[in-house]
Every structure is written in C-alpha cells, then in structure tokens.
Structure 1
C-alpha cells in the first residue's frame, strides 16, 4: 500500500496505519518561529562579531582559541537564519532550491554540535587548569589547543555529512506545485534516518554532556575546597577569579541544559513516534510531542548568541585582575611577586584576558 503525500509540518503518516495520516495543526509556528529566529539572528550577528573582532585584536591564549572557534561556528549559522525566517513567513514554502535547503539544515546541526563539542573542550580545559594546574601549564600549549579545534571541526563535519543526503525539498500540501524544506527526513527515509539520529544524540550530545557535567562537578568541588576558610594556609591565590569561576560554571551549565537538553529529548521522542506511529500513542500524542519539538528548536538555535555570554562572563582582565587581587588578598611583598606571576600565568591560560 502506498503512503499518502505528506509534509513534515502538516501531515505525518503513521506506518502502523498507512492508509491514513495525522493532520497536525502547526499554524502557530508561522508567527512564533520567525520572531524567535529573527531575534536569534540579530543577537548572534552582533555579539559574535564583537567576540571575533576582539579575539583577533588581542594576544591568543587557549581560552581565546576555543572562544574564537565557538563564535565563528555561531556566526556561520546566523547567516542561514534569514532563509528559515522567509520560509516560515511564506507558510512553509521553500523558494531557494534544494541545495540551499540541504545547506540550511546542515548548518543548524553543524553549529549545534560544534557548540556542544567546543563547550566540552572548554569544560575539560578548565577542569585541567583548576584541578591539575601545574600539569596543564607544562602540557597544554597553543599548538595543542589549535589542533584540538581542527579535530573538532573535522569530526563534526564528518558526523553531519549524512544530513546533506537526508535533508531535501518535498511536496507541500496546498495549491500548485509548491515545495517545503524537510526538517529531518522524508518518511521513506525514516528506517535509515532514525538509527543515525539516535547515534547522533548519544555521540553528539549525551556523551559530551556527561563529560561536561563530570568536569564541572570536579571543578566546583576543587574551588569550594580552596575557598573554605582555613582550607589553605595563608592567603588564597586567585580568590576573586575562583569565585567568578563558580558563578560562570553554574551559568554555563544552565545555558547548556536550556539549549541542548530539551531539544534532544523531544527530538528523540518525536523521531520514535514518527517511526512507530499510532502504536506509540496515536495522533494526539504525536501532536503534543511535535509542538514541544518545534518549541525547543528555537531554544537550540539560541545557543548561537547565548554562547557569546561566555566571552562577557569570563573576560576577567588577568593582568589588571592580578593587581586587584594583590590588593584584596594582601599577598606578602617578598613572596607576592613570584606567586602572583605564576598565578597570573595560570589564570591567564584559563580565562581570556580582555580590556
């Protein structure tokens, strides 16, 4: 039996009942999504341009290298948003051809997983810098960090390549021969796409998220111990930066969870229900999950400008911060110069130094 024509936005046939389809009312997204994507486009374009320009103007350190690559990925994605905005305003009509459809969908997932992997690299970098500082100063060089960034770009590109084959234009229900740009895959491609999507969620999100959570839990524990009164003899070096570290880590974790976790959970359920059909809850359940999935997509896209907050939250000027810390912590003059020099070098590797 042949499946009836469908679009990813209005009609999703259920494999368990191939003679009928689930008619989903998604008219809300023609207003909600363009507003969200326009907001994301403007903020991402402005904030990431500032981050890139400042990263290029100042001396490089490991944090700056990661931040530069993160901002570059976000800026690349922001250039694809006007095409999506135009498509949703046109009520899902795609006017830009099949190659651009594939590129726009590719850039969304490419940016999403570049962000996740670079945030994981930053998390591991801070874990090593705070929990194993001396070893990090000896081992982690700019060349090593740059090689890691190149590896991330290659790895994410390799993981995202199938998107260029699955994403494509398809018929749109309505008058004429109008087409839409499919969000994930055509229904006939689902048997191949679902295993790939599940693998992508595990390798691209849940594994990096677990690493990030473990790194930050160790960092918070180490910082908390050093900040406890009497934990270390004498004044605590870098106390101002360490307090700021805890606030930054909490903020990054919340942003990470807000942008990526809801999207991957709802998308996993959505793909499973598209593949399983009525056997997994029927059309009503599919409609609820589809709404949740569409709402979490703008949250995932918001990482394109929320990542820039890392720049503003961690731009503690280490050179001047060291002088302020010297006053605040009253490091003895005889030992202050050497210890402060080492401390500034260490924290300069962990935090970018900006004016």
Structure 2
C-alpha cells in the first residue's frame, strides 16, 4: 500500500510510491493554517527570549550552570532562524522556493536543535543532581574546563547523530494541480528501508535514554532533598535549603518540558514510521490518517522547546540580591588551580548563583 496526500493538500511528510497499487488520500489542509501560526509564535518568542538569555549568560562566563544554559540558548536561537523558511512553505501550501540545499539544512536544524536541547537539559539535570547529592565532590571534580568540554562533546555527538538527515531530507515533486517542488521531512519511499531503522535508533539514543537519565536524577534529588530537610541527617543546620528547593524546581520543570515537548512527538513519530513501513498490515489508511494528524500536532510542541527552554532560565533563577555573592554582585566561587578546603558558601555560591 502506498500513502500519499490528497491533490488539494500535499503532504511534505508522505511521499508517493507506486510500489503497491492502492494509495491513501490524506486531507491535511489544516496544517497550512495551524503550522504557520504555531511556528510564527515560536519564532518571535524564541528570537526575543534567547537573545536575552545569551546576553545575561555572557555576563557570568565562569559559572557552570550558565555555560550549559548559554549553549542551550544558542542552539534554540539557531533553530528559530530557520523557521521563516518553513512558515513561507506552509503558507504557500507546501511549495518550497529556496532550493534543495536549504531544504536539507532547515530539516536538519530542526532535529539538531531538538536533540541538542534534550542533551543539554539532561546535562543541567545531572549537574543539579550532583550539586545536591554530592556538592563537595562536584566542586572538586566539575571544573569549568570540564563543563566546556562536555558542551563540545554534546555538539559533536548530536551532529553525528543527526547528520544523516542531510542525506534523507530533500526536495521532490509537489502533487496537485500546481506545479512545483516540496521539501520532504522524512525519507522518500525508496529510502524508507534505511530510514526507519535510523529513525528508531535516533529516538532511542537521542530521547529515551537521556529521558531515563533525567528521570533517575529527578528521583535521586527528591530522595536527597526530603532526607536533608527532615533534620538530624546532617549535623547542625541544613545548608543551602533555598538552593536545594530551587534545584528541585528546576528538575521538575525540566521533566515537565520533556513530557510536554518531546514525549508526544517521539511516540507519535515512531508509530508514524512503523505505519509507513508496515502499510496495510499495521492498520491501513485510517490508522495512518489518525497518526499523521497527531504527528503534525506534536511537531509544534517539539518546536516550542526553542522558547520554553528560555522560560526555564527565568522561572528557575534566584531573585535579585539573594544567594552568596561577592563584590559587585559576582557569585562566590573558588578560583581554578587553587587547592585547599572548600567552604560550604563557596560550594552553594558556585552551583546555585544569584542572577542579575
């Protein structure tokens, strides 16, 4: 069975194949209104919010938390700059006016940003976990050089995971009464046997494994926070209570971001690829039509992480004037290369800084 859109509403994700006789006609005219509005909203918010986050992070280049946040905001800003091309394409009823190289680049940037966001959010979660569960060890091991090396590793790893998109994404003939080309999101039918295994691998390694690590960090943070706030577990007053509560707020917010933006998209996309590969044996046209709608609706949710990540920065930062601060409002931290015992205020001042 072959899956193709109706002539009046071409679909950029379901190329036509003539390998098996019958064809599914899917009406997706809704996306020419729904998706441009969603992407325009994401573009404006992402451009504004991430510009502010980048500016503020540059004021504190030596704080590990803000190094992760800076890289996250940079990735989101890169993706937002590609959205005007998609908006133009959907308004033009899937006609692609910018050539095959730009088609490949725009599709690549979506997945590159998606998995950069997931990996950097996982790094932030793990950083918070170590800051709460092993604060003294974290200050001795997690140097600024180590954090920056981790960010370079994330960029390199995500590029390696998503670079095949540059091969699979391409322009193709636009079905319907209007001549032109469209930009396919997934693979063409002839590339589907190679693309489906790659897509499943990408979902597992790029989402489900990082999500499992984030969930584990979240459970450990809750356990540690509850134990330390009871009193009596550690001698004397409980240190860093406000910072610990802030950290659990950060972890909960990141978990909600995963659940809202990434989980529906990856679940529906995995089913979508399985239906394309299995055809009639997995439900036929009706099942594909339902899943295709769900898949299209969850794509803007996945794109929304481009500005929701920036909101995470504002929602989890300390109010002005709070926290351990040194002269001129700079966070207190121990300079790299100097040995000696670390004070509790230095530990919490560096892991949980006050933001300007």
Judge same fold: TM > 0.5, yes or no: yes
**Deviation of 1:348 (Å):** 3.1
Q: 1:227 aligns with which of 226, 229, 237?
A: 229
Q: Does 1:130 align with 2:132?
A: yes
Per the TM alignment, residue 236 of structure 1 is displaced from its structure 2 partner at its CA by 1.6
Q: Which has the higher contact order (CA 8 A, sep 6+)?
A: 1
Of 268, 271, 274, the residue aligned with 1:269 is 271
Where do residues 142-221 of structure 1 align in structure 2 (5 Å cutoff)? 142-221=144-223
Long gaps (5+) in structure 1: 324-340
Alignment match, 2:90: 88
Q: Do residues 347 (structure 1) and 351 (structure 2) align?
A: no
Contact in 1 for aligned 2:118/2:210 (Cα 8 Å): yes
Q: Give the conservation status (yes or no) of the 8 Å contact 2:96–2:182.
A: yes
Instruction: Tell me the equivalent position of 1:51.
Output: 53
1:290 and 2:297 correspond:
no
Does the CA-based 8 Å contact 2:264-2:298 persist in structure 1? yes
Q: What is the alpha-carbon root mean square deviation over aligned residues?
A: 2.2
User: Shift of the alpha carbon at 1:54?
Assistant: 0.7
Q: Whole-Å Cα distance in 2 between the matches of residues 260 and 4 of structure 1?
A: 26
Secondary structure class of the residue paired with 2:24: strand
Q: CA deviation at 1:352?
A: 4.2
Query: Deviation of residue 246 (structure 1)?
Result: 2.0
How much has 1:129 moved relative to structure 2?
1.4
1:177 & 1:255 partners in 2: Cα distance? Answer: 40
TM-score by length of 2: 0.89
After superposition, give the CA deviation of every residue in 1:156-182 in whole Å (9 maximum; x if it has no partner): 111111000000001111234311100
Distance 2:3 2:29 in 1: 21
CA apart distance, 1:9:
4.1
Deviations 1:246-305 (A, max 9, x none): 222212211111110000000000000001111100101100000000000000000000
Q: Would the alpha carbon gap of residues 129 and 186 (structure 1) be closer, same or farther in structure 2, given more than 3 Å must change?
A: same
Q: How many pairs does the alignment contain?
A: 336
Deviation at 1:12, TM superposition (A): 5.6
Q: TM-score w.r.t. structure 1 length?
A: 0.89
Residue by residue, what CA displacement relative to the aligned partner does 1:149-207 show, whole Å, maximum 9, x if unpaired?
00110111111110000000011112343111001111111000000000000111111
